[in-house]
Structure formats: structure tokens, C-alpha cells
Amino acid sequence: MMHGKAKGVILGVLMALVAACARGRATPVAGLPAEAQTVIRERGLSPEDVVAALRTYMPGGKYDEYVMFSSGGHSGQVLVIGIPSMRLLKVIGVFTPEPWQGYGFGEKGTLEVLAEGFARGKPLLWGDTHHPALSETEGEYDGQFLFINDKANARLAVIDLRDFETKQIVKNPNAISDHGGGFVTPNTEYVVEGPQYAAPIGWEYAPLDQYKDKYRGLLTFWAFDRQKGRVDLDRSFQIELPPYWQDLCDAGKKVSYGWVFCNSINTEMATGGIEEGNPPFEAGTAKNEMDYLHIINWKKAEELIRAGKYEVINGIKVIRLETAAREGVLFFAPEPKSPHGVDVAPGGEYIVVGGKLDPHVTIYSFEKIQKAIAAGNFERDPFGVPVLRFEDVKEAQVELGLGPLHTVFDDKGYAYTSLFLDSAVAKWSLGGPYRKDGAEPWKLVEKLPVHYNIGHIAAPEGDTVSPDGKYVVALNKWSVDRFQPVGPLHPQNFQLIDISGGKMRLLYDMPIGIGEPHYAQIIKADKLKPFLVYPEIGWNAVKMAKDPNATEAGRERVEVREEGGRRVVEIWMTAVRSHFKPERVKVRKGDHVIWHITNIERARDATHGFALGGYNINLSLEPGETATIEFDADQSGTFPFYCTEFCSALHLEMMGYFLVEP
């Protein structure tokens, strides 16, 4: 028996306890509804799944922390993806015409951008995009421009990140194939386009038995004019290289500023011919245990250009191979074996080469390279290029596993390398100044399986002077059984991996059923400051300036004139919710039509499309934009034009008739 008072105390304690306990149960994890348990059970989610779901889900209206710009591979486009939600925010039309964004379907400015990329006047309307490169200032992404190459035809595109649209495509006049580009130098002085398959300069004809004499690699330095937002051909130059199939490149930074590094995969100079009993390329290019890391002094190359030590070939300055080799622009160092990625560490001290057919990454010291060059300790390759001694320039080798390809970095002194054959990401420790946590340097730390056949790898700001850590994205080439089947052509698979803790953890599988991406770069979202609408009404989106044919409301008109023996009809039209003005455009068969349309909206997202049936025309007119189409009215008839962006409740009624009298 207890005293009343004691009872009361106990009761109080018990009640408090029960209440606390009940509160604990009602909200077992603060903010987590009981319903969560039901969902977890019903869907069979593992604890890892639950954490991954919570880490990647983006609540409605909240923004991703990072934006990834990924090559779209042979779609020819660029993919814009939010991280961590792994949602595809946009596909940017680059080398392939894309009608949703009105890119290459009648709009004169975009047709001119595409035409600039034609080769010998022959239309090239797709590309094989490989390596996107964000513009940099002092080695940091600055969020202003994005560059991307077309491997199939050796071209480079410039995308302005104010409106995420392609502004320029330059065709490399001397190369027909590139791979190791774009890469930028640390202040975007140049966008570097590395070669791939050797061919005679200007891709002229030469039989394969003249391979050594006539075939060449070409490293292109496209000078970038940030003010104009355009590549400046006059200040650009190329360096002639031996026909070694140069692969990826990266620019030196900080201590290695002024240098560029490229690797190579066919120092054998194999020329294939399996059908003639020769070893196929896959065997012929893989005989040598060592290929050559190309070490290029671009500051020295600039000096040679200033000194006139170049030839102009097809309109661009070229430093010939002999000059480059003699004048200290080009050096080689042995690298094992048919490597893929060459990646400069954040501080520029080390160059990491993924061996591909060798289980190591090989780390070169920039300091040692400089010493070896200064000491003159080299032999020369058959083209006279100085070859440094491997032992003189090697800092370390780390055995990671099968098929190391490409490396990115975090903020804690670790590197992450994709292993294609192992289908894994390898985390390993850097040495030297990066080793502050007492971990053993140059050592494999962990391997995480990915699904499947990883090519490149990307990390937030992971190839800049200050990587963020947090995530890596595995850009896997095969998905096999990973997604709901959608036919024999499978999506690729981007896997988001959390690297913020001690261990790497798989968070998300994102199918890419729209192209085969190669490289990607990931920028802090808040570095991007795009236009929400164009700055003023009448904006020319290609020129990024007010268009002379901008039309104000009330100033719409149609003019007819004779010009060069034909009738020219010129229309100045406005578009606003929910009508075009004029709505009736009448011409005669054979007339030349010049048609300017200005979207006079100022509201965000108030885009109008403009489709003209039967004439293969579609425009996307974002708020403020002026666009021009120009064509011959070569078929008579009655053709509706209409708005293709669902702009209002009366969007379907936003139309007009283009009447072509026979």
C-alpha cells in the first residue's frame, strides 16, 4: 500500500511518461506521418530506399541545388538535369534541328547558326556531342556559356546560358573528327577541341599506305570573345599532331595554368583492314603497352603565333608539328595503355590518366614534368617530338580495377574514377597537398558497383579548382534490365551517388532514352542567372540584341514590293494572347515572303508558337522575342497558321490563314 501523496507523485510521473511516450509514438520521427509506414510496407522499400527517396525527392516548387549539363551524345543536343531530383529540365537543340524550341524550322537566325556548321556547303543536321564545357573564370564555372563538340564532324557549338540557346556552330576546317573537346582554359581564353581519328589535314583524300606521312591529329584552340559571346576565328589556332588518335584533353589550372594535356590511343598508327587479313583496329591500336600523354604549352603556342611561326590552312593558323616539337610547345610522356580520361587535379599539381586497358590510374606531377623538360631528359618520337621518361614524371600509380576511364574530384582530397569493365566507381585518395586527413595517399578506398558499363563520371564542380563533393553521377552506357523494357534500343542510365558520408551510396537511377550522353558538368544552380523573359520587346534571340524588325502593337503592317523581278511580301506581325495581327496574309504563288513576328508579351512563360501548315515552319517566340522567316510561296492554297504553345483558354482560336493565290 502506498501513501496518497506517493501515489500522486507516481501517477504524475507515469502520466508524464505515458504522455511523452505517446507523443513519441504519434510522431515517432518528427514530421513523419504514420502513413509512411504503410507505404514503405506496401511498396517493399528497404531502409536504403527510404533514405534515397527522401534525399532525392524535390517538393513541388522547390529548386534543385545543382544543374547538370550533359551531352546528349548522338542526339546532337544538350540535356539539362536537376540534381538531386534527377529531373530533365530541358533539352537544348544544338546540332540537330528541334521544332519545340523553334530551332531550325524556318527561323532565319537559327537556320544561319546551323548553316554555319555545314561542311563544304553540305548540310550536317545532327551531331555526336561528347564533352560539354562550362565557361570558367579563374578555374571556376561562371555560369555564362556552355560549349560542346560534335565528334562526328569536328564542330563546336556555343550556348548562351542567359537563354539556354545555341548561338554559334563552328566547323573545324581542317579536322573531320574530334573527341577531346570542348574543354576551356581557366579563364575561357580558349575552348580546346581535341582530335580523334587521324585524317589528312582538311580531310583530303590520301590512301592509308600514306598514313604516317599524310594523316594527322589537330588540336584546336578556339579563341572565345566573351563580350560578343562568339568564337573568334581570327585569334584561334591549331597545333598539328602525329596521327596517334588523340582522345580526351584537359586544361592545366593554377600551378599548371598555360598548359593542356591530351592522351592518345593509337601510337601504333594502326590502319585496320580486318577484311584484308590485317588486325582489326581494336587489336592494332592495343599492341603497345604505352601510348603518349601529350603535354602542350599553349602560352608558348601563343608566342609562336605572335611571332608568325604558323601557316594559314583553310583560313586558320596552324602551328606545324615540326615547329611545335622544336619550339617547346609539344612534349610527350609515356602513358599506359590506350587511356581514356586525362584529368587535372583541382590545384593543377597532378594529371590523372585512366588506363582503360591497364588497371591503374597513373598520376603525373606537373612539377616533375617541368623539371624533366628543363633538364632536357628526353628522347624523340618518329615525328621529332620530345618524349619525357616515364619515371621522371610519374608521381604515383593506383591500381583500381578493370577499365579505368575518367576521374573527378571532391572537396576532401579524394578522386572518383569510372571503371568501365568492372561496372564500378572507384574512390581513391590523392596524395601531396590533398592529404590532410591522415589517410594513406594514392590508395584505393572503396568500389561501388553501378549498372552498367560506366563511361564518364561527373561531380558538382568536380573538374574545377574547387570541387563541392556531395555527389557523383555515374554516366552508365548500358541499362540492360534496369528499366521497364521499351524495345531493343535501351535507355542509358545515370546513377546519382551520395558521396557526402564515408561510404558511397547509390541514390537514384535516371533513364536516358533520348541520346547517349558522354561527359557532363554540374554547376551550383545559383550561379545561373538566366533571363525569365527577354529584356525588351523585339529581342533577337540569336543576336541577343533588339531586332531592327521588332514590331510594336499598332505598328503591324504588310508591304508588297518588286525586287529582282519578283514580288516580295514583307509582314510585320505581333502575337499576344490570343491573336496574331494580321490574321489574314494573302500572297500570290511565287511571291517571296519575309515574315517578322514579335511576341509582345511581358509575362513569364507567355510563349507563343507559330506553325505554318504545309511549309515545314515552326517558331517558338518567347516573351519579347522577334523572329523572322523567309521563304518562297511555292505552293498555292489555303494554309492555316496557328499558335503551337497552349497560351490561354482561347489558344486554339489563336490562328490565321495564309492564302496563296494560284
Among 244, 531, 572, 595, binds a second copy (CB under 8 A): 531
What is the nearest approach in angstroms of a second copy to the Cβ of residue 133?
18
Is residue 150 classed exposed, middle or buried when 0-12, 13-18 and 19+ CB atoms within 10 A define those classes? buried
Q: Minimal CA–CA distance to 163: which of 522, 610, 618, 621?
A: 621
CA distance 618 to 100: 8
Contact flags string 587-626 toward a second copy, x per CB under 8 A: -----------------xx-x-x-xxxxxx-x-x-xxxx-
What is the nearest approach in angstroms of a second copy to the Cβ of residue 280?
4
Among 436, 489, 554, 562, binds a second copy (CB under 8 A): 489
Pairing of strands 637-642, 655-661: antiparallel
Q: Which is nearer to a second copy, 430 or 587 (CB)?
A: 587
Among 68, 70, 78, 99, binds a second copy (CB under 8 A): 99
Task: Determine the size of the site formed for a second copy (CB under 8 A).
Answer: 204
Among 115, 137, 545, 657, binds a second copy (CB under 8 A): 657
Residues between 36 and 65 with contacts to a second copy, criterion CB under 8 A:
36-37, 39-41, 43, 45-61, 63-64
Q: Is 8 in the site for a second copy (CB under 8 A)?
A: no
Among 20, 375, 545, 553, binds a second copy (CB under 8 A): 20
Q: What are the start-end ranges of the H helices in 199-312?
A: 211-214, 281-284, 298-306
CB burial of 46-83 (b: ≥16 within 10 Å; e: otherwise) equals: eeeeeebeebbeeeeeeebbbbbbbbbbbbbbbbbbbb
Residues between 320 and 339 with contacts to a second copy, criterion CB under 8 A:
338
Q: Which is nearer to a second copy, 298 or 615 (CB)?
A: 615
Residues between 249 and 268 with contacts to a second copy, criterion CB under 8 A:
265-266
Residues between 417 and 436 with contacts to a second copy, criterion CB under 8 A:
420-421
What is the nearest approach in angstroms of a second copy to the Cβ of residue 344?
21
Q: Is 313 in the site for a second copy (CB under 8 A)?
A: no
Q: Is 403 in the site for a second copy (CB under 8 A)?
A: yes
Q: Is 122 in the site for a second copy (CB under 8 A)?
A: yes
Q: Is 12 in the site for a second copy (CB under 8 A)?
A: no
- Cell digits for 225? 570573345
What is the nearest approach in angstroms of a second copy to the Cβ of residue 153?
5
- Cell digits for 406? 575518367
What is the nearest approach in angstroms of a second copy to the Cβ of residue 299?
30
Among 288, 397, 466, 578, binds a second copy (CB under 8 A): 578
Q: Is 545 in the site for a second copy (CB under 8 A)?
A: no
Distances in whole angstroms, Cα of residue 110 to Cα of each of 115, 154, 186, 391: 8, 20, 29, 52
| Cα torsion 318, 321, 322, 325: sign | positive
CA distance 238 to 620: 37
**Cis bond leading into 182, ω under 30°?**
yes
Is residue 123 classed exposed, middle or buried when 0-12, 13-18 and 19+ CB atoms within 10 A define those classes? exposed
Q: Is 502 in the site for a second copy (CB under 8 A)?
A: no
Q: Which is nearer to a second copy, 369 or 472 (CB)?
A: 472
Pairing of strands 190-193, 199-200: unpaired
What is the nearest approach in angstroms of a second copy to the Cβ of residue 225?
21
Q: Is 15 in the site for a second copy (CB under 8 A)?
A: no
Residues between 367 and 396 with contacts to a second copy, criterion CB under 8 A:
none
Residues between 73 and 92 with contacts to a second copy, criterion CB under 8 A:
73-76, 80, 82, 87-91
Residues between 196 and 215 with contacts to a second copy, criterion CB under 8 A:
196-197, 199-200, 202-208, 215
Q: Which is nearer to a second copy, 327 or 399 (CB)?
A: 399
Encoded amino acid at 401, one letter:
G
Angle at 166 between CA 568 and CA 627, to 5 degrees: 25
Q: Is 98 in the site for a second copy (CB under 8 A)?
A: yes
Q: Which is nearer to a second copy, 100 or 257 (CB)?
A: 100
Q: Is 445 in the site for a second copy (CB under 8 A)?
A: no
Distances in whole angstroms, Cα of residue 422 to Cα of each of 282, 395, 414, 481, 564: 19, 25, 20, 17, 66
CB-facing half-sphere around the CA of 498: CA atoms within 13 A = 18
271 — phi, psi (to 5°)?
-125, 15
Longest Cα separation, the chain: 119
What is the nearest approach in angstroms of a second copy to the Cβ of residue 328?
30
Q: Minimal CA–CA distance to 327: which of 373, 368, 369?
A: 373
Distances in whole angstroms, Cα of residue 351 to Cα of each of 130, 375, 440: 21, 20, 19
Residues between 151 and 180 with contacts to a second copy, criterion CB under 8 A:
151-154, 161-165, 176-177, 179
From 14-22, 107-115, 232-240, 289-297, give the range in contact with a second copy by CB under 8 A.
14-22
DSSP bridge partners of 546: 539
CA distance 635 to 619: 20
What is the nearest approach in angstroms of a second copy to the Cβ of residue 591?
13
What is the nearest approach in angstroms of a second copy to the Cβ of residue 14?
7
What is the nearest approach in angstroms of a second copy to the Cβ of residue 45?
6
Q: Is 240 in the site for a second copy (CB under 8 A)?
A: no
Q: Is 579 in the site for a second copy (CB under 8 A)?
A: yes
Distances in whole angstroms, Cα of residue 186 to Cα of each of 155, 178, 250, 294, 335: 21, 21, 10, 19, 25
What is the nearest approach in angstroms of a second copy to the Cβ of residue 351?
20
Q: Is 533 in the site for a second copy (CB under 8 A)?
A: yes
Residues between 621 and 650 with contacts to a second copy, criterion CB under 8 A:
622-625, 634-640, 642, 644-647, 649-650
- Cell digits for 393? 614524371
From 94-102, 217-225, 323-331, 377-385, give the range in contact with a second copy by CB under 8 A.
94-102
Q: Is 582 in the site for a second copy (CB under 8 A)?
A: yes
Residues 144 and 135: beta-carbon distance below 8 Å: yes
